[in-house]
Structure 1
């Protein structure tokens, strides 16, 4: 489960950063999936920032849960 959360978090961070780079420079056109969501028109930068924050949160939560389990095993 930890690896799944880390992978999903990494994917969200990658998508968010690609979207921000696309917004700023025009690169990574096919990578930025948020731009294809019509209901986010005008809010792409905010949605991409949210993706980055959610991705980092998932990775940190997965790592935190792994440390808690290893501490419980040591007791």
Structure 2
């Protein structure tokens, strides 16, 4: 077996392994399982997540967030 035929066989095997995942069907989640529990009538808390330092800060006070204050 030559080096060229070995590399060709490895390339074909790698391509076959890469294409093997293409035939897997997508996971299906029914419409009744897609939404979370609605607790808006009893719980009045908003949890906000964002990148650090992405929301603007007040020029005078770094602990104030004008965008979040305007939202609430």
TM-score (norm. length: structure 2): 0.33
Indicate the structure whose relative CO is greater, using CA pairs within 8 Å and at least 6 residues apart. Answer: 1
Higher helix share: 1
Tell me the TM-score normalized by structure 1. Answer: 0.32
